[in-house]
Structure 1
Amino acid sequence: MKLTRPRRDILNLYEKIDHPLNAEEIYNLLNNEYDLSTIYRNLNFFEKENILKSIVFSDKITYYYKPKGHYHFIYCIKCKKFERLNLCFEKQFKEYIEKNIDFKITDHILYFEGICSECQKEGDKNA
């Protein structure tokens, strides 16, 4: 893999940030130094090379994250904030699925969508 300047800069972001980012967030965090097409092209390259993974939520925005073990988080559908969860029930789910469904698990991601406490408070103020 040729490590171009845009690729290096994108990967450096993921060394500092431990939650998924979309292309526009990366664009802004890199101070608009690269055009969005360059960002998207490199994100797609990283995903193809299994350096990053992507996930799409109900808002239809694609977020990319660096897989560090398995990933669990909550996602606010209003402010788009992520919070990582350090709880995992992988062993129980894996045993059940492999035993009862005859399905070999190779990876997993678990997330919950909802409304964070800050957005709930904002909603209460506007009600």
Structure 2
Amino acid sequence: MKSTKARKDILEILERYDFPLNAEEVYEILDEDYDKSTIYRNLKKFEKDGTIKSIVFSDKIKYFYKIEGHFHFIYCIKCKKFEKFDICYSESMSQYLKEKLGYQIISHTLYFEGICKDCQKSSS
């Protein structure tokens, strides 16, 4: 894939944030005059070639993130906030998946959906 300024800028944004972003958020963060179709087209290309991954939550919005090792986060279904967390059970799970199912684990993503404490307070 040819390296363009738009592609470099999009990847830089995804590397800078440690949680997934949707295409609209990437568009808003960029200060350049890229149109939305450029953002969507490049995100799709990056996902297709394996440079980034995407995830869709119950809100049906596709979020993108840069692949680097493993990724753990929780997503608030009300305010759509992400929070990263560091607890990882990958060693015991990887061992189980290798021994019982015969897989060699390369990377993983662990996420939860819930309602954050701020949204819980505001709905009480």
* Superposition TM-score, scaled by structure 2 size: 0.90
Q: Which moved more, 1:36-45 or 1:104-113?
A: 104-113
Does 1:54 pair with 2:54? yes
1:40 matched to which residue of 2? 40
Q: Deviation of residue 33 (structure 1)?
A: 2.3
Instruction: Give the aligned CA root-mean-square deviation in angstroms.
Output: 1.5
1:12 matched to which residue of 2? 12
Q: Deviation of residue 47 (structure 1)?
A: 1.1
1:28 matched to which residue of 2? 28
Q: Deviation of residue 103 (structure 1)?
A: 3.5
1:105 matched to which residue of 2? 105
Distance 2:28 2:70 in 1: 27
* Superposition TM-score, scaled by structure 1 size: 0.88
- Name whichever structure is richer in strand by fraction: 2
Distance 1:32 1:123 in 2: 38
1:86 matched to which residue of 2? 86
Deviation string 1:52-77 (CA, Å, 9 cap, x unpaired) is 11111111111000112101110111
Number of aligned residues: 124
Identity of aligned residues (%): 56
Distance 2:96 2:52 in 1: 28
Distance 1:113 1:4 in 2: 35
2:123 matched to which residue of 1? 123
Q: Structure 1: which 5+ runs fail to align?
A: none
Assess if the C-alpha contact under 8 Å between 1:27 and 1:33 holds in 2. no
